[in-house]
Amino acid sequence: MKKTIKTGTIIIIIFIVGIQFIPTVSNKQPVKISNDFITIYDVPKGIITQLKTSCYDCHSNNTIYPWYGKLQPMNMLMSQHIVEGKDKLNLSEFGAYSDRRKKSKLKSMISQIKDDEMPLSSYTLLHWDASLTEKDKKDILIYLDKLLSSY
């Protein structure tokens, strides 16, 4: 019995060390500030902080990785979320979207926040500061509704 536990532990350690050789990916691209969500709109400071901590890591061209983000398999999982998240909504390129797309993405942001779909719960599990309180949600929603009504 003891021997099986020992072998099991060794296999797990070899596996964890082994997957560290899978190259990590970093989402850092030159950001064209002029197209960034927070540049094109006059976003209040508090909302900027919330969007940056709760949404930008997966929905922009620049992710701020936590320390474990440089370890596998976390890096792979994060990269997958980033690729998918950016494909659906890229806040770094929001200014390049057509007005029609901007409007539909604003609507989608509102519904995702309202329904507690975003930020992803798998993310807030480790990234506590990214969770939105009821007050944060209310502030962001009031602001996004205001933006939406300007289209």
- Alpha-carbon gap, residue 78 to 97, rounded angstroms: 25
- Alpha-carbon gap, residue 92 to 86, rounded angstroms: 9
Decide: is 81 part of the binding site for ligand HEC (CB under 6 A). yes
Decide: is 102 part of the binding site for ligand HEC (CB under 6 A). no
Buried b (16+ CB within 10 A) or exposed e, 86-110: beebbbbbbbebeeeebeebbeebb
> Considering beta carbons, is residue 8 or 117 the nearer one to ligand HEC?
117
List 38, 85, 90, 92, residue binding ligand HEC (CB under 6 A): 85
Binding piece for ligand HEC, criterion CB under 6 A, among 12-20, 35-43, 78-86, 95-103: 78-86
Q: CB–CB of 35/96 below 8 Å?
A: yes
Site for ligand HEC, residues 119 to 148, rule: CB under 6 A:
119-120, 123, 130
> Considering beta carbons, is residue 81 or 103 the nearer one to ligand HEC?
81
Decide: is 88 part of the binding site for ligand HEC (CB under 6 A). yes
